[in-house]
Structure 1
Amino acid sequence: MSDPTTARGAIALVADEFTELPFDEGPLTGDGPIGWPGYSAAHARAAARTGETESVVCGTGSVGGVRAVLISFEFRFLGGSLGERTGARAAAAHALARERRLPVVVLPATGGSRMHEGMRALLQLQVLARESELTRAAGLPQIAVLRDPTTGGGWATLGAGSDVVLALPGAQVAFAGSRVRPPDADPAAYTAEAQLAHGHVDAIVPPDALRAVLGRWLSLLTRPAEGPVAPPYALGDPGAAPAASGREAVARARHPDRPRAGAYLDAHFTLREEISGDRCGGVDPGTRCGFGRLPDGRTVAYAAQCGTATRPAGFRTAARLVRLAGRLDIPVLTLVDTPGAANDAEAERSGAGSAIADLFAAVAGARTPVTSLLVGEGGSGGALALAAPGNSWTTPDAYFSVIAPEAAAAILKRPPEEAGATADRLRLRPEDLVELGIVRGVVGPRPASAEDVRDGA
C-alpha cells in the first residue's frame, strides 16, 4: 500500500493514474517576500530532502473512474506550510477544475501558514477561500481527505471548507497546531475522531478503504438524477385496510415493527454514502443525510428522520444537505418520521428555533426539486420543516398532525385519556391528508414484476 504520509504517496493511495501540473517558479531567491534570513537556504534543503519544489503537488487523476483535480500536501516540505507559491499552485488547480468541469480532491497535511513569509503567507488563506468559493459557485464538488496533521489555515480553508470531509484514522485535525495550544489542552480534542464526534468531519476512512470510498463519493456527486424524483414505494403491509380512526393511524405509525427510514433507504438505493454533522458542533443520530444511487445509476440526495425527536443538529445537517444538493444540481428526497422537534433544555440552548427556521428556508429556497415521503410520525413543525411544499406523499402507516395528540390534548386543557379522541378530531390519517390537500397521495407497494411472478413473489 502507498505511503499516505507523503504527497505523492497519498495521491497513489487514491488515484489510478496521475498527471502533474507543471510549475516552473525557479529557485527561491532573496530570502522570500519579507527577507527572512536563511529562508532561501531552508527552502532549498526542503526541496533536496523531499524531491519536491514546493509543499503542494497538483494535477489531474482518475479516482474510481472519475476524473478529478488533486491537490496533495507534502508535510516534509517545511511542514506542508502555506506560502505564496503554495497558494498560486492551489489556485491554478482550482482554475483548471473550473475550466474542465472536474471535481476537486484535496489531500491536506499541513501545519498552517509559513512563518518565513509573514503576512504574505497568511493572505493565502483568502486566496484559497476565494478559489474554493469560485469552484463551489461553479457547481463542482470538493472533497477533502484529512491526513496527519491538518491544522491551521489548511484546515480552515481547503479542509473544513470542502463539501465532504473524510479523514484518516488518528489524524491530528485542528485549527490550533500542537505548538500553540494551551498547555493543559486535552490532546484527544484535536483529532479526526473528535471532529467527527462534534459534526465537523463526515467519516473516518482507513487507508486501505480510501480509494473505494473516495471513488464512490466522486461517482455519486457527479451523476445527478433528473428531478423531481418519484417517492419510494410503501414497505408496510400491502393488504392492510386504511386506518379507521385517527387514534388507529397514530398507533400504526408508532408500532415498533413499522418500516423505518433505514429500510426505505436500503430498498430505494443500490449504493449510499452519508454526510455527518451540522458543522456547528453537533451530530443527531436520528437524522441521516447523504447521497444514494438509483437503479439507473443516477444520484439522489436524501435527508431522513429515523423516528426520534429531531435535534437542532439534525435540522442543520438536513439544511446543509439540501443546499449542497442544490449547488451540485442533485434532486432531493426527504423521509419524514419524527414525533416532533426535541424540546429539552439542551435543544433550546442549541438553537432549536433557529435550526428549524434554517431548514424551512433551505427547503423553501431549494435550487433542485424536493420530493418528500411521510413514512411514520409527522409531528408538528419538526416534521413539516423537512416536507416539500406541494410535493409530499405519505405511506399508509403514517400520520401528520399540527402536534402530537397527547400534546394537543394538554394544550386544550383536556385530560390525558382524551388524547385518542383528540387524534380522531385532528384529521391526521393518510386519507384525511390527501383530502385536505396536505399530501399528493398515498403511495402503494412496489408492483410485482414479471420476474417476481415467475419466482412466486
Structure 2
Amino acid sequence: MTTRPDWALCRHCRAVVYAKRLARNHGVCPQCGGCFPLTAQEWLDLLADPESLRPLDFDVPAGDPLGFADGVPYAQRLAQARHATGMAEAVLCARLSIVDTPVVVAAMDFRFMGGSLSAAVGETVTRAAETALADRLPLVIVTASGGVRMQEGVVGLMQMAKTAQAMQALDDAGLVTACVLTDPTYGGVAASYAMLGDVVIAEPGARFGFAGPRVIAQTIKQELPPGFQTAEFLLERGFVDLVAPRAQLRERLGRVLSVGARRDTAANLCPAEQVVIRDPEQVPELDPWEAVRRARHLGRPTTAEYFRMILDDFEELHGDRVGGDCPAIVGGIGRLGREPVVVIGHQKGHTPAELAAHNFGMPNPAGYRKAARLMRLAAKWGLPVVTLVDTPGAYPGVDAELQGQATVIAETLRLMGALPVPLVTVVTGEGCSGGALAIAVADRVLIMENAIYTVISPEGCAAILWKDSAAAPTAARALRVDARSLLELGVVDGVVPEPPGGAESDNNRAGTLVREAIRAELADLAARDPARLVAERRARFRRFGGDVNAAALTHPGGSQ
C-alpha cells in the first residue's frame, strides 16, 4: 500500500481510494474488497464491543541480547520503530468483549519492524496467555509478521517454544483460543502460536507460510502454483477453519467464542418432544430392500441441510490441519436449542454435480482426521458431539489407501470410545461399513425410520457371497439392514419416525423430528460424569458378540 494524506493506492486492484472512505470501510477496498493492513490499535477497536476495551500494559522491557549492528545499531532501529509507530513493541494487548464474550486479545502490528517476533513480543504474548489463564477467559491473537527478529538471533528463536507452551497451558485448562491470520504472517510466528488456536480464521487474500514464496522459488527453482500461500489456498488444503471477510469477522469470531466459552444449561429446563420409538413392535415393518431404496433417495435432506434446520448459530469449521479438507465430511459448532454442540456428518447431495463434489459421501483419510480434530475440540471445550451418518462407505481409492485409510478409521474409533463428553449418532440415510461406524461410536445410536445400517452394501454382499449383484434384495433381507431389525438386534437404541412419505416428502418436519430426538438423548446424558459416559459407552459396544441372540433382550432399545 502506498499512502498520501488523503488517498491510498490498493495493491490488489491499483485503485486510488479516498482515505476517509477507506477508514469507514475498515480498511477494505470498496473497488475489489482487498484488505489494507490495519494497525494493532485498529484491530483492537474493530473487535471490541463499545466501551469494553481495557488496554493491558505489561511493561516488558526490550533488550539487545547480542549487541547487534548491521550498519545501524539494533537499539537505534528500535528507537526509530517506536517513533514511527508510537508503540513500545510490535504487539498490543487488551481485555475486551467480542459480541458479549469477554476475552483477552493480543494484536500484532506489521509496521513495527515487520511485526517480527522478538523477546519482548514473545514475552508480551505469553503474558497475555497467562492473563487469560488466570481470568479463565478466551485468548484471541491477531497475527501480522515476517517471522523471528533476526537482530535478536537465537533468543528470538526461543520465543517460538515459549509461546507454544503458553498456548498449551490454555489447552490444558480447557480455555478457548482463536487466531486471526492477517497479511502477511510468516516464519516463526506462523510456525508457533499463529497455528495453535482451537479455531484459525484468515482474512481473504492473507499470505501465510513458514518460508516466503521468493525464498521457496529461489531455493527449489520451481514455479509456484496459483494463489500459493493465500488464505483461500490454505482453506482448500485444510489448514484454516474459515476465511472471513473483514466485515463479517467480528460476528463470526464472536459466534465461535460464544459457543466455546459458555455453556447454557438452561437448555435442560426445556423438555424435548419425545419422538424416538424404542419398541421394535411399534416400528412399521418395511422390506429391507425397500429400506435400501428409500435410504438412498436423493430427495432426503443432506447432513448440511439438517445442520441448518436443527441448529442455531451454526459455524462450519474446515480442515484436518494436516493437509486436507475432505468434502464428504462436514462439521462445526452451533447451538441445539440453547445447548452448544459440536456436529459432524457425512455429506452427499441431491444432484449428480453435488454428489460428485462431495465424493458421494465417501470420506478419505482427511475427512476422518477432520472429524477427529472436531471431536478433540469438543472434549477440550466440554461440549456434546452429534454425528449424522449417511455414507455408502469410506472411499475405496488408491490415494485413500496410500494415506492410511484403515489407520485413520481405527484411530477415530479409539478416540470416540474414550471421548469424555456425551455422544449421540443418528443414521439419517445409508450407514455402510467401517466408514459409517468411524463416526458412530456413541452413547446413543438412533436411526431414522427409512434408513439402513449394515456391514457392507447389499450389492457388495451379493457379489461376494451370491456371486451375483442382482441378488442384492436377497442380501438386504439376510443382512437385516432395516430400522426395525436393527432395533431388535440392539444395534440401535431407538428409531426416529419420518413424516408420511419419508423424510424426502417433508424436509422441515424430518428436521424437527431429528432435532427433538437428539435433544432428548442429550438431556438424558447430561447428568453423567465423564467416567460414567466412557464406561457405559464401552460396555455398550463390549456386549456385541458376547451372546448375539440375547443382545436384544438385554439392550435398552430391545424388546423385554
TM-score (norm 2): 0.75
Code of the residue aligned with 1:298 in structure 2: it is: E
Does residue 219 of the first structure (1) align with residue 272 of the second (2)?
A: no
1:391 corresponds to: 444
Partner of residue 44 from structure 2, selected from 5, 8, 11: 11
2:236 corresponds to: 197
Query: Closer, same or farther in 2 for the Cα pair 1:155/1:400, shift >3 Å?
Result: same
1:360 corresponds to: 413
Query: Closer, same or farther in 2 for the Cα pair 1:268/1:231, shift >3 Å?
Result: farther
Does residue 121 of the first structure (1) align with residue 156 of the second (2)?
A: yes
2:295 corresponds to: 253
Partner of residue 344 from structure 2, selected from 303, 306, 310: 303
Counterpart secondary structure, 2:247: helix
How far has the Cα of 1:230 moved from its partner?
Answer: 7.9
Distance in 1 of aligned mates of 2:448 and 2:135: 43
Distance in 2 of aligned mates of 1:391 and 1:19: 45
How far has the Cα of 1:332 moved from its partner?
Answer: 0.6
Q: CA offsets, 1:241-289, max 9 Å, x none? A: 8352211111110011122212321221122001101111111112111
Query: Closer, same or farther in 2 for the Cα pair 1:220/1:390, shift >3 Å?
Result: closer
| Runs of 4+ that moved beyond 4 A | 225-234, 445-449
Q: CA offsets, 1:174-197, max 9 Å, x none? A: 111245322245262111111011
Counterpart secondary structure, 2:362: coil
The answer to whether the 8 A contact 2:422-2:443 is kept is no
Code of the residue aligned with 1:13 in structure 2: it is: L
User: Which segment drifts farther, 168-177 or 350-359?
Assistant: 350-359
Counterpart secondary structure, 1:407: helix
Partner of residue 207 from structure 2, selected from 172, 175, 181: 172
Code of the residue aligned with 1:77 in structure 2: it is: F
1:106 corresponds to: 141
* More helix per residue: 2
The answer to whether the 8 A contact 1:132-1:158 is kept is yes
Q: CA offsets, 1:213-245, max 9 Å, x none? A: 1111111111236699989979xxxxx983522
How far has the Cα of 1:413 moved from its partner?
Answer: 4.8
Q: Which runs of 5+ in 2 are unaligned?
A: 1-24, 28-36, 277-281, 349-360, 499-508, 514-560
Query: Closer, same or farther in 2 for the Cα pair 1:335/1:222, shift >3 Å?
Result: same
The size of the alignment, in residue pairs, is 440
Does residue 87 of the first structure (1) align with residue 128 of the second (2)?
A: no
Distance in 2 of aligned mates of 1:231 and 1:362: 31
How far has the Cα of 1:18 moved from its partner?
Answer: 1.8
Code of the residue aligned with 1:36 in structure 2: it is: F
Counterpart secondary structure, 1:201: coil
1:140 corresponds to: 175
Counterpart secondary structure, 1:326: helix
User: Which segment drifts farther, 168-177 or 181-190?
Assistant: 181-190
How far has the Cα of 1:34 moved from its partner?
Answer: 1.3
Counterpart secondary structure, 1:123: helix
Greater gyration radius: 2
Counterpart secondary structure, 1:322: helix
Code of the residue aligned with 2:77 in structure 1: it is: A
TM-score (norm 1): 0.91
Distance in 2 of aligned mates of 1:390 and 1:331: 11
Distance in 2 of aligned mates of 1:233 and 1:263: 20
Code of the residue aligned with 2:142 in structure 1: it is: L
Distance in 2 of aligned mates of 1:225 and 1:233: 24
Distance in 2 of aligned mates of 1:417 and 1:298: 47
Identity of aligned residues (%): 38
Give the superposed CA RMSD.
2.3
Distance in 2 of aligned mates of 1:357 and 1:219: 33
Partner of residue 113 from structure 2, selected from 63, 67, 78: 78
The answer to whether the 8 A contact 1:224-1:331 is kept is no
